[in-house]
Amino acid sequence: MPHPAIGVLLIQLGTPSAPDPAAVRQFLREFLSDRRVVDLPRWQWLPILHGIILPRRSPRSAALYQKIWRDDGISPLLHHSRAVTTGIQDRLGDAVQVALAMRYGQPGIAQTLHTMSRAGIQRLLIVPLFPQYSSATTATITDAVCGFYLRQRFQPALRFAAPFFQDPAYIKALGDTIRHHLDPAEPREWIFSFHGLPQRFAAEGDPYPDQCQQTARLLAEELHLSRECWHIGYQSRFGREAWLTPDTAHLLKNLPREGKPRLAIVCPGFVADCLETLEEIGVQGRENFLHAGGEEFHHLPCLNDSPAWIDALSSLIRRELSGWLEEM
């Protein structure tokens, strides 16, 4: 009897298909319509989204995407995610089929799962590419995958990879990436900047801020940083609701005023560079820090498709496939 075919599906948050207002509007509409992302009553939120947010934000965001878009016509996030997918496939070999999907945008989750079903996948590992769990990211992937299989006659054996916020290989890959660009022993301040989240989500049980803090502590230990020189910040705020603090933007403005003009900033919650890292931190953050009196600003790249990260993710995936691979 042939062994069941094994699939691994890597899932990123997503990206517009192009850096123009129409494509960005389509992406934002899908993203901001998700009840996990914005959980206001639909009668209250949808008129705001379609009447105010999308018309105003789409052109502005498109202009920002144009600053970071690659010359080959795809976003940095999609480029690096594809390269990681290829790298994982090479390391796992023919016993496993590795695919990539986006929660919002293309390639979509439903489309990719259809393709894997037609290929005969009977055991499937879902790997959300978010180190820290949040209901607004990890949980919405679970919703989308399970929602797809609610409508299917055949459902494969399913596994969902656990968040890897404290995985030693992930922490070491972050450290290796940073040391490749900068010597951590040199005196400077450090900011570990994570995507923000409404405070209410954490109060209602979302473990995201605790996991961010654990990642930051472990990364600081990996880099041998003293506790006095590193800070946690939360970026990318949206709306008027109270979000997690401290705000990365406030840290960037306040550190020079406190006599700390040398800075390195890392975004450990993003495994691939995107608008939030390249433009929000790399461009706007740099300008704000230098304008406030900063003298030296280092924005470190994400893990992207570095060999250290592909090796770390391969190790994590092999662990999650335990029992399945051994039967091959």
DSSP 108: B
Domain 168-299 CATH class label = alpha beta
Give phi and psi for 155, each to the nearest 5. -125, 125
Q: How confident is the model at residue 328 (pLDDT cuts 50, 70, 90)?
A: low
| 285, 253 contact by CB (below 8 A) | no
Burial 78-112 (b: 16+ CB within 10 A, else e): bbbbeebbebbbebbeeebbbbbbbbbbeebbeeb
Amino acid 4: pLDDT: 57
Across the beta sheet with 296-299, the strand order is 230-235, 189-195, 262-266, 296-299
Q: How confident is the model at residue 326 (pLDDT cuts 50, 70, 90)?
A: confident
Across the beta sheet with 121-128, the strand order is 96-104, 5-14, 121-128, 157-160
Nearest to 68 by CA among 12, 19, 15: 19
CA atoms within 13 A on the CB side of 261: 8
Share of the chain above pLDDT 70, in %: 98
Amino acid 32: pLDDT: 96
Token pair listed for 102:
């986006």
> Which amino acid type is present at position 302?
C
Q: What is the mean pLDDT of residues 224-247?
A: 95
Quick check: do 5-164+308-327 and 168-299 share a fold? yes
Q: What is the pLDDT of residues 291-311, one digit of tens each?
A: 999 999 999 999 999 999 999
What does the angle CA 40 – CA 162 – CA 146 come to, to the nearest 5 degrees? 55
Give phi and psi for 193, each to the nearest 5. -100, 125
Token pair listed for 112:
């990719």
Amino acid 1: pLDDT: 39
Q: What is the mean pLDDT of residues 215-226?
A: 98
Q: What is the mean pLDDT of residues 17-24?
A: 98
Amino acid 3: pLDDT: 54
Q: Which fold has domain 5-164+308-327?
A: Rossmann fold (3.40.50)
In the chain, where the domains are located: 5-164+308-327, 168-299
| 233, 266 contact by CB (below 8 A) | no
CB atoms within 10 A of CB 144: 20
Residue 201: pLDDT over 90: yes
Q: What is the pLDDT of residues 47-102, one digit of tens each?
A: 999 999 999 999 999 999 999 999 999 999 999 999 999 999 999 999 999 999 99
Q: Is the peptide bond before 307 cis (omega within 30 degrees of 0)?
A: no
Q: What is the pLDDT of residues 129-188, one digit of tens each?
A: 999 999 999 999 999 999 999 999 999 999 999 999 999 999 999 999 999 999 999 999
Q: How confident is the model at residue 240 (pLDDT cuts 50, 70, 90)?
A: confident
Amino acid 297: pLDDT: 98
Question: In whole angstroms, what is the distance from residue 186 CA to residue 39 CA?
Answer: 44
Amino acid 53: pLDDT: 96
- Alpha-carbon distances, residue 195 vs 77, 106, 129, 237 (angstroms): 15, 22, 14, 8
